[in-house]
């Protein structure tokens, strides 16, 4: 039943809390999304990834689910959700939701029952263990939470500890229990029957823990990672779930895939495996050196090598193409080494060409299409290098709301001398930066919510000149470039199926490749620097006629030996 429609789609990720507020409470909601469906259609989007909208106490902004078959009160009702699906499908747009089943909220009924007693029928829905030491007051093993601190919480009532690889309010489900696996399949089928077209599977590589839960190697910051990532029964669990649910419908299943790289991806996403269709791997987002602490950290050579490895996978393996999501800081100016002063728009368009002319499943995150940036927090002086108008600074401790950011500051209270360093790092990498309200207009609160309403998250002050309304009316804007690029990509055989051949592989300035079908090819030329760079035609392109297809400058220059303009990106059919 799988048509693999994702191979010729363009996804748009919506973070509901920050997209559009329809009822004046300062929180984005489903009716707000419905009000913007024509915007998505006009942009050319053919599929939406919707971050969690299930009922949740919001310890981790919806990634702690208390009821998988209901909608968060702040976001609306199930009737609103049904209207959203219908509205998307009427416009030819498919919908995938977030599937968060490595853990639940500690306020889920399963966990409420589980913690009551050791013999409760739901006890083994989760991982409970006796502590170590004579008094049992030390955690069962040395694993660390992804949100800092031990991955275990002690419960006095039953004198045992439960596992939480994230917040203590996100207890991990025990997938060794066949009842848990059936529950997950039933949840998936519930949403498929409603018309949902697939799922993005949150931390799906963590669902199988090493038998016996042994100590992990001392490898900061995530002690235990190798003991719970892609271990033991992982393939068995996913294959069973696919057979019971995923593969019974025409779905797209995208895994958030820590531990999966280009080197081992084939065993997880090849069509013959019948498990995941594609994965979000984070090799390329980690290509910037020194954890983005320094202002000029992007390693372009490393970035290109990572892209090339994914492009070299068989046609039966679909890479994902993304630069941003709700867990990543904004790509502008991160992916151009923070040096794009005077050429911000050209740089943003260049990144789009460099990424989205490759083979794979493209994703754009809300606001990326207008060049939204990180918050200009006090510690992020590099922002002034990319845009002269970034002149409003705020202190990071006042704007960060994400559980991980808050935990960092809490953990450092005993070490105040480290706070300035942590602040500089968070100013570039905090998840909060991607969660600022969508910038719709130059009106109050960026048009995200009504004037006089306090939005749940700080609005980036650059909304007055960086917003969708302004850019839609400007033919040369980032938004209109994305619109042309998406239209050009959809149905394009060169991009969907063409052979990938790279040139200038050792250059730290140029990214040059072709997408070849027979004796014709798309030639893609990108200058990753804010300075003019000399370009010489590869031998394979010499003497060929060429037609300009896309360019991020208004003046389109012919293909040939010449000096590329700062951040120039051009695509030619040769």
CATH 2.60.40.1180 describes domain 498-573: yes
Looking at every residue in the chain, the average pLDDT score rounds to 92
Per-residue model confidence as pLDDT tens digits over 31-86: 999 999 999 999 999 999 999 999 999 999 999 999 999 999 999 999 999 999 99
Question: DSSP per residue over 362-394, as a string?
Answer: EEEETTGGGT-----BTT-TTHHHH-TT----B
| Cα 399–Cα 401–Cα 404 angle in degrees, nearest 5 | 125
Per-residue model confidence as pLDDT tens digits over 403-449: 777 777 677 777 777 777 777 777 777 788 889 999 999 999 999 99
Distance from the Cα of residue 180 to its chain's centroid:
27
- Over range 317-327, report the average pLDDT: 95
pLDDT at 425: 73
pLDDT at 418: 74
The tally of CA atoms less than 13 A away on the side-chain side of residue 550 is 26
In the chain, where the domains are located: 105-172, 177-281, 498-573
How does residue 383 score in pLDDT terms, banded at 50, 70 and 90? Answer: very low
d(CA 86, CA 90): 6
- Over range 508-517, report the average pLDDT: 97
Residue burial 264-301, b: 16+ Cβ < 10 Å; e: rest: ebeebbbeebebbbbbbbbbbbebbeeebeebebbbbe
pLDDT at residue 547 is higher than 80 = yes
At residue 132, φ and ψ (nearest 5 deg) are -95, 165
Which residue did the predictor score with more confidence, 429 or 463?
463
Per-residue model confidence as pLDDT tens digits over 134-188: 888 999 999 999 998 999 999 999 999 999 999 999 999 999 999 999 999 999 9
pLDDT at 440: 98
Q: Which of 256, 288, 327, 390 is catalytic?
A: 256
How does residue 338 score in pLDDT terms, banded at 50, 70 and 90? Answer: low
pLDDT at residue 6 is higher than 60 = yes
pLDDT at residue 530 is higher than 70 = yes
pLDDT at 138: 96
pLDDT at 391: 46
Percent of the chain with pLDDT over 90: 81
Q: Which of 29, 197, 202, 402 is catalytic?
A: 202
Is 59 one of the annotated active-site residues of the chain? no
pLDDT at 169: 98
For domain 105-172, give the fold: Oligo-1,6-glucosidase; domain 2 (3.90.400)
d(CA 482, CA 370): 9
pLDDT at residue 538 is higher than 60 = yes
Query: Helix, strand, or coil here: 248?
Result: helix
Return the H-helix or E-strand segment holding 238.
Answer: helix 234-244
- Contact between 115 and 61 under an 8 Å Cβ cutoff? The reply is no
pLDDT at residue 386 is higher than 70 = no
pLDDT at residue 229 is higher than 70 = yes
Per-residue model confidence as pLDDT tens digits over 347-357: 999 999 999 99
Domains 105-172 and 498-573 share a fold: no
pLDDT at residue 382 is higher than 50 = no
How does residue 380 score in pLDDT terms, banded at 50, 70 and 90? Answer: very low
Is 390 one of the annotated active-site residues of the chain? no
pLDDT at residue 206 is higher than 90 = yes
How does residue 291 score in pLDDT terms, banded at 50, 70 and 90? Answer: very low
- Over range 97-104, report the average pLDDT: 98
Per-residue model confidence as pLDDT tens digits over 389-405: 544 555 556 677 777 77
Lowest mean pLDDT among 121-135, 248-262, 374-388, 429-443: 374-388
**pTM, to two decimals:** 0.94
């Amino acid at each position: 039943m799988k048509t693999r429609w994702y191979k010729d789609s363009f996804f748009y990720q919506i973070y509901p809390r920050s997209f559009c507020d329809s009822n004046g409470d300062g929180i984005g909601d489903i009716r707000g999304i419905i009000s913007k469906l024509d915007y998505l259609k006009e942009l050319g989007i053919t599929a939406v990834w919707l971050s969690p909208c299930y009922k949740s106490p919001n310890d981790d902004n919806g990634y702690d689910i208390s009821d998988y078959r209901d909608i968060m009160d702040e976001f609306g009702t199930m009737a609103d959700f049904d209207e959203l699906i219908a509205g998307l499908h009427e416009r030819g747009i498919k919908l995938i939701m977030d599937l968060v089943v490595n853990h639940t909220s500690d306020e889920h009924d399963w966990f409420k029952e589980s913690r009551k007693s050791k013999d409760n029928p739901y006890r083994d829905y989760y991982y409970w263990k006796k502590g170590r030491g004579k008094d049992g007051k030390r955690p069962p093993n040395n694993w660390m939470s992804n949100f800092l601190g031990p991955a275990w919480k002690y419960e006095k009532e039953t004198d045992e500890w439960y596992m939480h690889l994230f917040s203590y309010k996100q207890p991990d489900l025990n997938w060794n229990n066949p009842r848990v696996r059936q529950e997950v399949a039933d949840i998936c089928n519930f949403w498929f029957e409603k018309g949902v077209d697939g799922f993005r599977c949150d931390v799906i590589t963590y669902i199988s823990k090493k038998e016996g839960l042994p100590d992990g190697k001392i490898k900061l910051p995530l002690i235990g990672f190798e003991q719970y990532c892609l271990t033991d029964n992982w393939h068995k669990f996913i294959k069973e779930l696919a057979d019971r649910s995923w593969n019974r419908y025409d779905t797209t299943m995208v895994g958030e895939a820590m531990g999966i790289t280009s080197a081992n991806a084939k065993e997880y996403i090849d069509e013959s495996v019948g498990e995941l269709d594609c994965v979000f791997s984070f090799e390329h987002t980690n290509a910037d050196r020194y954890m983005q602490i320094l202002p000029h950290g992007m390693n372009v050579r490393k970035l290109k090598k990572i892209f090339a490895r994914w492009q070299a996978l068989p046609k039966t393996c679909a890479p994902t193409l993304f630069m941003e999501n709700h867990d990543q800081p904004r790509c502008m100016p991160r992916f151009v080494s923070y040096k794009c002063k005077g050429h911000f728009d050209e740089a943003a368009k260049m990144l789009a060409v460099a990424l989205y002319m490759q083979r794979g499943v493209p994703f754009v995150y809300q606001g990326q299409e207008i060049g939204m940036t990180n918050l200009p927090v006090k510690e992020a002086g590099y922002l002034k290098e990319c845009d002269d108008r970034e002149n409003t600074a705020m202190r990071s401790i006042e704007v960060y709301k994400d559980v991980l950011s808050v935990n960092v500051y809490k953990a450092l209270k005993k070490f105040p001398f480290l706070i300035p360093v942590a602040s500089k790092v968070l100013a570039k990498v905090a998840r909060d930066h991607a969660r600022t309200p969508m910038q719709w207009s130059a009106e109050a609160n960026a048009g995200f919510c009504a004037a006089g309403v306090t939005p749940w998250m700080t609005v980036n002050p650059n909304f007055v000149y960086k917003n969708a309304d302004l850019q839609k009316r400007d033919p040369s804007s980032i938004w209109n470039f994305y619109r042309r690029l998406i239209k050009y990509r959809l149905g394009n055989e060169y991009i969907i199926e063409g052979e990938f051949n790279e040139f200038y592989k050792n250059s730290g300035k140029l990214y040059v490749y072709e997408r070849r079908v027979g004796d014709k090819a798309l030639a893609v030329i990108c200058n990753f620097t804010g300075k003019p760079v000399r370009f010489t035609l590869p031998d394979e392109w010499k003497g060929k006629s060429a037609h300009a297809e896309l360019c991020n400058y208004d003046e389109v220059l012919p293909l040939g030996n010449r000096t590329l303009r700062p951040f120039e990106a051009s695509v030619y059919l040769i």
